[in-house]
Amino acid sequence: METNEVVKAALMQAAEQEMYHLLTSLQDVPVGNLKELEQQVMQVALTIGARWLGEVLSGQARQEAPARREGSCGHRQRLVGLREKEVLTLVGKVRWQRPYYQCQIKDRAPWAEAETVCTHGETPADVLWGLDERRTSPGVQQTVSYLAAHLTLEEAAETFNRLLPLSMSGRQVLTLLRPVGQRLSAGEDEQVHVLWQQAAQAQSEPEQVLADQQAQADLPPIQRLYIELDGVLARMRRGSVPLEEHEQQRPGDVYREVKVGAVFEACRGRERSDLAPLVWVDEPVQGSIRYVARRTARGNFGSLLYAVARACGLSRAQQVVVLGDGAPWIWRLVEEHFPGAVQIVDLWHAQEHVWEVAHAVYGRSTAQGRAWAEAGCSLLVHGQLAALVQAIQALPAVPPEPGETRSVPEKAVDYFTTNAARMRYPEFRAQGMHVGSGIAEAACKTVVSTRAKRAGMRWTPEGLDAILPLRTAVLNGTYDTFWENQCGLIV
């Protein structure tokens, strides 16, 4: 973009005027008062920036302002004059003048009884700079959306107002971030769509598959790639989602599940295994953790997790390990998207089931129940699942809990029997594998709870679906890359 001599002169004049004001105001700043000096210099810098930005925009618009043009309505338009517009930017409120065009075309259709006059008006410079019917710059939208990924809407607005000479409300923050989150979510879906297209192409173009495999072979292999999954409940506004039968019987808000995944490359850690003292336990490679989160009702979480795993080097992984809490949906997802992966039930969740059995049979906080649970957990940790199941079956019978058809011990027998192959903890530890999904637990807190489950927060599906991809993009370090391809305001 070129600037003509008139614009250059205006820029120099604006800078000289503000510098003169700065030098005058500095006379009143006491020596040693660095805070006051900082504020004076910052204010002048922002004022100069705002004037410069306005001059550049106005000058560029005037340079490209023909007397006649064809409007979007298809009619010839004439230049009416220059009109001023105020825009919120990162350097403050900027006023700029841009050409305004208007149709003055009388159009008489053959079937019309009278003439109609088109008075459609346009400011093409607004469209050129991505400000059509908007008064906020893309830079402001990028900044407040980033803040809102970490803070509540009101906190993001307050932080923004303290850093820049603008006034932003929580509602304005929501208006700006929602289309950003929607665009990021659409990008996630597009990533999945591209992977599926590539898979279909691979069936018809084996030569391309060989070329891709060769390209991957040139990259260093990943010894072990971990995928951890969990679910967390988010509070939804009543009426924003369909209510289940039991929810219709009671007032108040409702809760819906958000599925969360964490993918990371592992390396040898700094701690040894309790079960295999000579073996070092894996830990994440620094900076390798990537998150994914999606509201369960929206669907397609498995495909999205697979896309993230591919981006993390799934095809180069010599071994893939998946950890979860034992929920059936996790293992169905693994069988579909990660066949051949090592499946491990998180040890901590498995131990919880042992304690639930002890509480159901002996009651809570009883010495006998504590002793039985500790013995049962020892069997579990050492991989003696058959002995643990026998110990549960030998317990006195207890009735099912209210609303249930089977007792806690009966359900526990099925749980440990079904997941026995996923609870070979001594074997897993001997290979240095994680046996606890602590990273998935942390992911639920980091991605969802810290941002979306603060006191009093209630969500609509649209709001939650916007904030989740926004937060994961910031945590994954892809937010700035996303904005590199955005020239104008996202609407």
pLDDT level of residue 30 (50, 70, 90 thresholds): confident
Q: Is the pLDDT of residue 213 over 70?
A: no
Residue 203 confidence (pLDDT): 65
Reported as a single tens digit per residue, the pLDDT across 304-313 is: 999 999 999 9
CB atoms within 10 A of CB 386: 12
Please, where are the H alpha helices in 119-267? 124-128, 138-150, 153-163, 170-204, 206-217, 245-248
Identify the band that residue 16 occupies on the pLDDT scale cut at 50, 70 and 90.
Answer: confident
- In this predicted model, which residue has the larger pLDDT, 271 or 296? 296
pLDDT of residue 207: 58
pLDDT single digits (tens) 432-445: 998 987 888 889 99
The residue behind tokens 């003055």 is 104
Mean pLDDT value across the chain:
88
Q: What is the pLDDT of residue 356?
A: 95
pLDDT at 217: 59
Residue 461: half-sphere exposure toward Cβ, Cα within 13 Å:
12
Query: What global pTM score does this model have?
Result: 0.85
Q: What is the mean pLDDT of the segment spanning 187-211?
A: 75
pLDDT tens, residue by residue, 179-189: 999 999 999 99
